[in-house]
Chains A and B, each alone.
Chain A
Amino acid sequence: MLNKYFKTAIITMRGKTNGGIIYLLPNVVMSLMYLLPLMFLWRVLAGQGVEVGMSLEQMQSYTYMNAVLYPMLVVQTFLSRWNYEGQAISLYARPVPVFGQVISQTVGEWLPMLMVYSVPLLLVAPLFNIVVIPATAWFTPSLLLCVSLGFAIDFIFASVTVRLRGMAWLSHAIKMAVMSLFSGTMLPFKLLPFGLTKFFELQPFGSLGGAPLSLFVGTTEPIRIIPIQIFWNITLWFVAVVWFKKSKERQVSYGG
């Protein structure tokens, strides 16, 4: 039953590398460029001696694992783009459910970068004294809940794109702006001033990347994170399924 999704993922993965692995190089370079200054920024901040409840090792491990797992921590599917380009309609012409296709194709898109960037990054981590072993086994279920919620949120934003008559860039810009700050992938919630930590943990985007990363480095308890992630998964998947179905008839089939 899952074979068709597996095959879809493989086809998509091959599609990403048809032009050769060399075309992934700019993405790898950009990702490394993003990682390096942030790793050193933690060193600078730790040297300032302000007690923030996180050690330098935890901060660096947090950022490093964010880089390794990034596509999974803030899920971005092709759905909004395909809607804009008039290709989303083709999903309905295939004998596989749309949700399943989008998820398997997105996972397929992750695979090349996971292989050429994330795996090597994990392998060289010990050379830089970066801890890549999770502080708790609850990290794995939390990561799965994070990925699941990421897909739900992306389907909601895809519905927004449909409602905005295909303005994919607009919904993408708003989504990424919200995600970059509220998902906790760039900045651990523990480091926020003005007592914002609790608020950021409770809002729906806080159950994305920031949740599993906090468990990975051991700066929070599973009991504080997992129930909130389950709650947002149930709520937002319900919204995503209902809204996406309602938006189906509004989709355009002619893009540019």
Chain B
Amino acid sequence: MAKQILSLYKLYLKMDIAWLFRDAKTAFLMIIADVLSNLSAVTGIFLLAWRFDGIGGMSRHEVLFMLAYSTILTGIFQTFFCGGNTAHISRVIGRGQLEHAFIQPLPLFVQWLTSGFIPISGSSNLISGIVIMIIALNQLDLVLPWWWIFSLVANLIITTALILAQSYLSASLAFYAPVQAEEISTIVIDEFAYIGNFPLSGMPKLLQISLITIIPTGLLAWFPTLALFGKTPFGITAWYPLFFAIILWIIALYFFKKGLKYYVKKGINRYHPMGHRR
């Protein structure tokens, strides 16, 4: 299976390059739009951190590191899962397009793991995030152990898994209410990512706890940032996001499978014969 996944990644890489060269103007504009969207979200918080000389005990450059982490996270997410709406899966479900996947001679899991791969057009935030992180680390003047980079990569993989779990869990609703819930993955991903940019340091403990448990936006950038600096909130283990991601995935898979069974029986017919959606 690993060989098959790699060959599909290679195929999607070729397709992404082909798109870039076929319509360079559009591709360029898309990349600019991606970078602008993300940078505008993080710039506001950084300007605040600068004006107030840090936020809630986090220095200006620690906040910058956190925003860089968030930008890289967005970049990884876009690079691997934003092609073909694989991350924004409620669109596929709500639009009645899941049948397109059923007729492919590949398991759904393999399709969704690979068909979102857009390494050229989707990597702009990944690159800009890495640049911002290097600047932040340089300013922080830290001495980091050799394994720190592996810890950073592991945290990024876990947080990406968290976003996907949130998206697939919320998308389960689209099986039952395709029109109303068509964009629910987008709302959850975008809003959670936006709120995830807020440094929670200094905020009331009840709010901090709520935002790393009930609504886990604090696990997207704030918690991993502090964990990477060895200052894990409340002294919780740095593995907490991993445990959380596993539990969230179990819940997401349960409801997604339940919704899928309902969908197989009822179907979703959103298209007029002429091609417009209802």
Residues of A within 8 A of B (CB): 19, 23, 26-27, 30, 33-34, 36-38, 40-41, 43-45, 47-48, 50, 52, 85-87, 164, 167, 169-170, 173-174, 176-178, 180-181, 186-187, 191-194, 196, 254-256
Is B247 an interface residue, CB under 8 A from the partner?
no
Instruction: Determine whether the beta carbon of B52 is less than 8 Å from that of A50.
Output: yes
Q: What is the chain B residue whose CB lies nearest that of A191?
A: B51
Q: A255–B177 Cα gap in the complex (Å)? A: 23
Complex Cα distance, B41 from A177, in Å, reads 7
The CA of A40 and the CA of B211, in the complex, are separated in Å by: 13
Q: Which residue of A lies closest to B211 (CB)?
A: A37
A74 to chain B, nearest CB (A): 13
Q: Which 7 residue pairs spanning A and B have beta carbons closest together? A: A44-B202, A177-B36, A173-B33, A177-B40, A193-B51, A181-B40, A23-B180
CB-nearest residue of chain B to A41:
B198
- The docked-state distance in angstroms from the alpha carbon of A202 to that of B255 is 50
Which of B29, B52, B177, B201 counts the most chain A CB atoms within 10 A?
Answer: B52
Instruction: Report yes or no: B191 in contact with A50, Cβ–Cβ below 8 A.
Output: no
Contacts A37-B211, A48-B56, A255-B276 supplied; 20 other A-B pairs, CB < 8 Å: A19-B179, A19-B180, A34-B195, A37-B198, A37-B217, A40-B207, A41-B199, A44-B56, A44-B201, A44-B203, A48-B52, A164-B29, A174-B37, A191-B51, A192-B47, A192-B51, A193-B47, A196-B47, A255-B275, A256-B277
> Are A180's CB and B44's CB within 8 A?
yes
Residue of B nearest to A181 (CB): B40
Closest to B32 in A: A174
Q: How far is the CB of B255 from chain A (nearest CB, A)?
A: 15
Q: C-beta contact mask, B14-54 vs A, less than 8 Å → 1, else 0?
A: 00000000000010011011101101110110011011111
B251 on interface, CB distance cutoff 8 Å:
no
Point out the residues of chain B lying under 8 angstroms from A186, CB to CB: 44
Q: Which residues of B contact A (CB under 8 A)?
A: 26, 29-30, 32-34, 36-37, 39-41, 43-44, 47-48, 50-56, 177, 179-180, 184, 187, 191, 194-195, 198-204, 207, 211, 215, 217, 275-277
CB of A41 within 8 A of CB of B203, answer yes
Chosen A-B contacts, 15 in total, with CB atoms closer than 8 Å, are A23-B180, A34-B194, A36-B207, A37-B198, A37-B207, A40-B207, A41-B199, A44-B55, A45-B55, A48-B56, A87-B276, A164-B29, A192-B51, A194-B50, A255-B276
Please indicate the chain B residues that have their CB under 8 angstroms from the CB of A187 in the complex.
Answer: 44, 47-48
Query: How far apart are the CA atoms of A110 and B180 in the complex, in Å?
Result: 16
CB distance from A135 to the nearest CB of B (A): 23
* Neighbouring A residues of B191 by C-beta, 8 Å: 30, 33-34
Partner of B41, one of A86, A87, A180: A180
**Given known A167-B26, A174-B36, contact A85–B277 (CB-CB < 8 A):** yes
Which residues on the B side are within 8 Å of A85 (C-beta)? 276-277
With a cutoff of 8 Å between Cβ atoms, the chain B residues found around residue A34 in the complex are 191, 194-195
The smallest C-beta distance from B274 to any residue of chain A, in angstroms, reads 8
| A23 interface neighbour in B32, B177, B195, B215, Cβ under 8 Å | B177
Q: Is the CB of A256 within 8 A of B276?
A: yes
Q: How far, in angstroms, from A170 to B26 measured CA to CA in the complex?
A: 9
- Chain A residues positioned under 8 Å from B50 (CB to CB): 193-194
Closest to A174 in B: B33
- A38 to B48: give the CA distance in the assembly, Å: 12
Residues of chain A contacted by B39 (CB below 8 angstroms): 177
- A86 x B276 contact (CB < 8 A): yes
- Min distance, Cβ A87 to any Cβ of chain B, angstroms: 8
* Across-interface contacts of A86 in B (CB, < 8 A): 276
What separation, in Å, do the CA atoms of A98 and B243 have in the docked complex? 53
- Chain B neighbourhood of A191, CB < 8 A: 47-48, 51
The answer on a CB contact under 8 Å between B48 and A45 is: yes
| A176 in contact with B47 given A26-B184, A40-B204, A48-B52 (CB within 8 Å) | no
Using known A-B contacts A45-B55, A164-B29, A193-B50, determine if residue A37 contacts B180 with beta carbons closer than 8 Å. no
Distance in angstroms between the alpha carbons of A256 and B275 in the assembled complex? 6
- Complex Cα gap A85–B278 (Å): 11
Tell me, rounded to whole Å, the shortest Cβ–Cβ distance linking B182 to chain A.
11
Report B203 CB to chain A, min CB distance, Å: 5
Q: Are B47 and A170 in contact (CB under 8 A)?
A: no
A179, closest chain B residue (CB): B40
Contacts of A169 in B (CB 8 A): 33
B contact residues around A87 at 8 Å (CB):
276
**Chain A residues positioned under 8 Å from B203 (CB to CB):** 37, 40-41, 43-44
Instruction: Name the residue of chain B whose CB is nearest to the CB of A29.
Output: B215
A41 neighbours in B (Cβ, 8 Å) = 48, 55, 198-199, 203
Q: In whole angstroms, what is the CA distance A155 to B55 when docked?
A: 38
